[in-house]
Chains A and B, each alone.
Chain A
Amino acid sequence: MNGQAWMLLLEGAWTTVWISGIAIALGVVIGLVIAMVRMARIPFIDQILVLYVSLARATPLVTLSLFLFLATPTFGIAMDRNTAAILALTLNTAAFNAEVWRSAFLSFSREQKEAAMACGMTNGTFFRRIMLPQMFTSSLPGLVNEMSFLIKSSPAIAVIGVVELTRVTNRITAVTYEPLPPILAAAVLYMLIIGALLKLQAIAEKKANRLAM
């Protein structure tokens, strides 16, 4: 393994991080929107969302990535590899995040709502000023947990040809004929990324516990 191989590995790690990062950011927001729409219990739409969450949680990411990348062109939507990868990761993580947000909604205390109403707050203000900050703190550990799961399943996008951290090892091996060093180096890089997230989760949990929620 020479300097060039390390550069390739770092590039792969960067691809993993930015694609996962976009998917995480989109997934957290979309998950919140799904949870909110589900709390409103609109007939028909509610059933569709239940179906989506159930399907997205059951579908392996490898299968979903292949499906999105190969099937969308037949409907006339051309997607490049990165877009398909981001879409697959987002669809997957949004379903899990929706469940985390929903449990935060369900466990939110009713008294606070009544108190806010008595103080003359509108629904919107109440949600923005009272509910969201508390829900964010209480569901942060779950969200960060889901983030580390996302990074751990992100090698799935290698199957549609995105050159991320796992796939890079194949490229290096094709030149050096020594598969073990690049795979071990990739493992170390993954451990750094996921270890940082686990650390973040511990901090988030401590913060949530301090607020006693």
Chain B
Amino acid sequence: MSEWSIIWEARDLFFAGIWNTLVLFVLSFVAAFVLGCGMLFLLEERTRLSIVLRWVINLMRMLPFLILAYLLYYGLPQLGLRMSAWTAGLIALTIYHAAYIAEILRGARIVLPAGQIEAAKAHGFRPFRLFYRILLPQLVIKTRPLLGNQLIYALKDTAFLTIITVQELTAAANSVQATYFIPTEAFVVVIFFYWIISIALELALKWAGRFGAKRGFEHV
């Protein structure tokens, strides 16, 4: 079993890769969530900005993630805006998933009954407070299965960043296999790690489901 001992020798590379993947994933998803909620707030009222935002969201839904990453990493330097692969990857992940999150929440917002919003307005809620205290909590709890799916897509999209030379988990496996010529073992390890992370995410989602049920949101 000498191949596995080589993998063990190269463990630092794998750990660095996992760390990088997790940091990218968590940072970008948190940022995407905040940005997505902000987009939703701006979509509340029909302004010129909200029309542009609708366009941006629809655009993102029709674009592969890698094209956006290419645009930021290879395309923007032509306009004089140069950034590292890591930063470009983080920004691409954030923008891309923010659009999807905004779209998921918007879908739930459309079917939300108007009564309670009118009631809140009658109680003197300002638009921001109304959104933050009444709309957003309900929408997030209602759409949790879809948001959970998006979480797993975001994790899988981090692997694309290996193509624009970000040193994440898949890149770690690739460099190990290129150095020691043990592709099977290197990738089995990496796939196992991705699997563990997404199982953990699914468990967290189940837990969130129980929390939602306790608050009376069983029927999504």
The chain A residues found within 8 Å of chain B, CB to CB, are 54-55, 57-64, 66-67, 70-71, 74-75, 151-156, 158-159, 166, 169-170, 173, 178-180, 183-184, 186-187, 190-191, 194-195, 198
Contact = CB atoms under 8 A, between A and B. Distances in A.
Given A55-B195, A71-B183, A60 B74 contact: no
B75 A183 contact: yes
Contact of A63 (B63, B64, B187): B187
Interface string B164-200: 0000011001100100000110011011001101110
Contacts of B169: 63
A60 B155 CA distance: 8
13 contacts: A58-B191, A59-B195, A60-B158, A151-B64, A154-B64, A156-B160, A158-B66, A166-B67, A180-B71, A190-B62, A190-B63, A190-B67, A191-B63
Given A66-B183, A156-B160, A158-B66, 13 more contacts: A54-B195, A58-B156, A60-B157, A60-B158, A66-B170, A66-B187, A152-B63, A156-B66, A158-B163, A170-B74, A179-B77, A183-B67, A191-B62
A66 B62 contact: no
B95 to A, nearest CB: 14
Interface of B: 59, 61-67, 70-71, 74-79, 152, 155-160, 162-163, 169-170, 173-174, 177, 183-184, 187-188, 190-191, 194-195, 197-199
A152 B195 contact: no
A152 B64 contact: yes
Given A63-B187, A184-B75, A191-B59, A153 B64 contact: yes
A198 B195 contact: no
Contacts of A158: 66, 163
A62 B191 contact: no
B159 A61 contact: yes
B78 A179 contact: yes
Contact of B199 (A58, A169, A180, A186): A58
A63 B198 contact: no
A169 B75 CA distance: 10
B56 to A, nearest CB: 13
A122 to B, nearest CB: 38
A155 B66 contact: yes
A66 B174 contact: yes
A208 B27 CA distance: 39
Contacts of A55: 191, 195
Contacts of B191: 55, 58-59, 63-64, 67
Contact of B183 (A70, A155, A198): A70
Given A71-B183, A71-B184, A169 B159 contact: no
A153 B154 CA distance: 12
B177 A70 contact: yes
B194 A58 contact: yes
A164 to B, nearest CB: 10
B64 A67 contact: no
A180 B170 CA distance: 27
A74 B194 contact: no
